[in-house]
Structure 1
């Protein structure tokens, strides 16, 4: 029962109006579970213009989960592979998130059981001219860089295969959570190419140069447990019967982040990201500059008052 409710938690996050074709996914357990909907946070829907509007679903959670944004890839027939349309939709979603100062964390996940993202859409790529391949890869790389540059914490929930560009997207997130059965790898050398959307740069920064070379040179695929041992993912969780264990863990982690001071979290991310690329002395200067940004905030005063009054602080991002 717990597993069924778990999968429904993800499904309900992305529930759609009953008049759409996808509504036939509704199952008997869902109909029973509807009686408890009042205990679930509401969600709002953001639609993006596209030739295939179902490729990406973005939900801004509400209620106690307000501030959490869940971005779900949904290309079941193409194993969530990265197409021109998906890149376009993700750019729009990221831009929307950047403009919303109420966002506190982002979860990137899949709505397709058993798959996170299989990498580039090779069927689509086979149809485009050779001189178009470079510009498309550059655009995909720019998208993943934009994801990396989001000012709020990002969490990749890997409940299935994350290969090639799919793993590169996950590497651009701050935190990665994988189910034990998930499969991950930068497999481009099997196709006589190299990772082209940041994989050769981000993987060494995550697991170290020597291990990254080994995985890329061999195109090796590892499961969630091995990925955790290598430091590729923060957590490896046993997959549940509903196939969304990583998502549920990511949601709990986002809920841990939610009550913290939002400006402080953003400044901490900025200090870490910029500081890790420079020497310690410069990094400490970056930390000092970021600290200076939180001193005049109302949230800092609220934190002090809450501590003095022995109550939970209520931060507004001000």
Structure 2
């Protein structure tokens, strides 16, 4: 009932245009009536969400609710123009419960193909964006959260000194338009943890042991305030709160900027204008650092990546070593 009331209220307040099946890019440029409780969270300060990001995220969500695709009382947004690291730029918005939360998340680290193309990103600010396969970059636009898959990664030594199991969950995203190949790219959300320096340790009693009685064992690495391979990654503590909100309850995620936004900002920079003078948005601190962003279109970057992989084939994986003292 709360979700139905929200939808009816939005229609009556002039947001019907976003709910009539029109492209969300058109609906996003309207000026929806943001609920009074949410307005203090709108802005460009720490833990706030930029107006255009909220407008588009909200329009996408309400459109999918009206289509019957989404029944989740919450939706998500990300502003990839803001600083990474400790910067809070992933948003959970639950209008029925009047809750808003901003947390850190990683952006795509990209790649540097020496002598060919450099589309690598620093930890703090993202300059490069793309939807090309194997680009390891973030793509802005519309997504739907889908199934959650949990996989065993191995054992690690916990702070208590005892061995602990790392089972990492991954929520698959589906997209449309520029983000339409999200599933093919394995784009989704997960905790920013992995195991490094993995070796095989004898543990025949483990339910995860292979046919020879060995299990993978490594060092737990938390890269919560670093970069990702294009996925949305959260700290383990934030993931424990966010992922249950998505489980078995599809909802929307809107990531800013889209390719059209990047191209518009590039045009403004080339003309020597501040993006804000033309009504465009980019985080001022990061724009000063990167000078100008770039969108690497799939059509132009993918052939380069395919050729690079042909010229530089990865060596076959070697056997995992046995842990010393195992």
Q: Structure 2 length normalisation: TM-score?
A: 0.23
Report which of the two has the higher share of helix: 1
Structure with greater proportional strand content = 2
